[in-house]
Amino acid sequence: MFATQQGMVRMKTLMIVARDSMLTELEDLLHKNGITAYSVINKVEGSGKTGKVGAFHHSVYTGSTHFNLMILAVLPSDQVEKAVDALKAFHAARKKLAKEEPIPLKLFAFPCEELL
């Protein structure tokens, strides 16, 4: 929690998991919504609704390897709704273009407490 004169500010961690090709758009979205402090973890491997990604998945057609990325942003609780709304709008716009295909973008939130 962030210390203030009134006490402690409740915080949440947003965890965004997306295809690495979305990084620039996601960073732009975060910045436009006042989020400038976050961590990006690249080359995240995994398997889910949109298929397998990572070193174990090699595209026969393109010869490229696709990865996910993870963005972690710790926000005061009062800033979370604005960020979530913007990410939901981003997802909805992608969904409209993709029609029935699942979008390689997930958003999770959980409580966070700063200890150091």
pLDDT given for residue 114 in this prediction:
86
Q: What is the pLDDT of residue 3?
A: 52
Residue 106 has pLDDT above 60, yes or no: yes
Task: Return the beta strands (E) in 31-93 as ranges.
Answer: 39-44, 46-48, 51-53, 68-76
- 5-33 pLDDT, tens per residue? 455 778 999 999 999 999 999 999 999 99
The per-residue pLDDT for 50 is 73
Q: Contact, 16 vs 105, CB < 8 A?
A: yes
Residue 4: pLDDT over 90? no
- Phi-psi domain of 35 (left: phi exceeds 0; alpha: psi -120 through 50; beta: other): beta
pLDDT at 90: 95
CA 107 from chain centre, in angstroms, equals 6
Beta strand 7-9 pairing with 2-4: antiparallel
Q: For residue 94, what is the domain's CATH number?
A: 3.30.70.120
The pLDDT-based confidence of 80 (bands split at 50, 70, 90) is: very high
How many domains does the chain divide into? 1
pLDDT tens per residue, range 36-70: 999 999 998 887 777 777 765 455 544 556 789 99
Q: What is the pLDDT of residue 12?
A: 96
pTM above 0.85, yes or no: no
42 lies in which domain range?
2-112
